[in-house]
Amino acid sequence: MALSVIFMGTPDFSVPTLRALHEAGHEIRAVYTQPPRPAGRRGLELTPSPVHRAADELGLCVRHPSALKSADEQEQFATLDADVGIVVAYGLLLPQPVLDAPRHGCFNAHASALPRWRGAAPIQRAIMAGDRETAMMVMKMEAGLDTGPVAMEKRVPIESDMTAGELHDQLAEAGASLMVDAIAALEAGEITLTPQPEEGVTYAGKIAKAETRIDWSADAQAVHDHVRGLSPFPGVWCEMDLAGRRERVKILKTRLVRSDALDGTPAGTLVGEPAVIACGQGAVALERLQKAGGKPLDVDDFLRGNALAVGDRLP
């Protein structure tokens, strides 16, 4: 017998789980998502979230309150009389009355190997830190930030050149199947909840604008991890002197280049073609770039209209 579900999510990452629960035959009584946001070139059009659009395609009831703090919103949530709440990157705080309303409480799919990388940006932080492995975990929610006991997990390796975008897509699909399995276990009365370890807690704070500028003085591995951890969004950037103008350029893909011959070369110096840049130690080759207002280009295409020469130094 299928469970009655309230689904709560907002970005693309949440959509595979919504679709998987629907396909598994669970009764989705309502989909909660964040309100439509201004978008478009002028920011005048209100655009529904990816979850909102997916729910509309599936013919599901959508609610998009700006907050859940009011007694009225909490009462509306409770009257749905659901068996379980499923939360995947919703983006709004759930007050205790909301967590307690479904008969089995609320379960969250989180993209890290908890207790490592609790918080808002676990995918980016794991790659930026050079982690070799992460996970999707389904946990029962409680008042603390990603502190609840874990019901199921799936470990996922982080390949050496994997970007945040690639890992995002892999984890989104893994999370969808994992949540279906977890809800099946809950339905059968066979779910086991394991408290998180007290040791190894780290926090994945939101990415600040100040973190998006490349620091060429870091070693090449750190630069490479920085680039792939923030690719494709928000993207790390540097400045380049192009056709007599200093322009901001996003670096979306790099490749490690190791050479002892670079020792002593000032960081940020172009030391090889097509675009090999010395770092504090070692070097990286720039492979995909994007000028402000332009489209992403492979390095050869980028350099056809933007000359760089060996010996140039990037600030």
> What is d(CA 33, CA 51) in angstroms, rounded to the nearest whole number?
7
Q: According to the annotation, is 4 in a ligand binding site?
A: no
Angle between helix 164-187 and helix 15-23 axes, rounded to 10 deg: 30
Q: According to the annotation, is 112 in a ligand binding site?
A: yes
| DSSP H helices in the chain | 15-23, 50-57, 71-78, 96-100, 122-128, 164-187, 220-229, 299-305
Q: According to the annotation, is 54 in a ligand binding site?
A: no
The backbone torsions φ and ψ at residue 239, rounded to the nearest 5 degrees and listed phi first, read -105, 145
The backbone torsions φ and ψ at residue 256, rounded to the nearest 5 degrees and listed phi first, read -70, 135
| DSSP H helices in 50-200 | 50-57, 71-78, 96-100, 122-128, 164-187
> What is d(CA 30, CA 63) in angstroms, rounded to the nearest whole number?
7
> What is d(CA 162, CA 142) in angstroms, rounded to the nearest whole number?
32
Q: According to the annotation, is 113 in a ligand binding site?
A: yes
Q: Are 179 and 21 in contact (CB under 8 A)?
A: yes
Count Cβ neighbours within 10 Å for each residue of 286-302 and write b for 16 or more, e otherwise.
bbbbbbeeeebbebeeb
- The burial of 105, by beta-carbon neighbours within 10 Å (0-12 exposed, 13-18 middle, 19 or more buried), is given as middle
Query: Residues comprising the binding site for (6S)-5,6,7,8-tetrahydrofolate?
Result: 112-115
Query: Residues comprising the binding site?
Result: 112-115
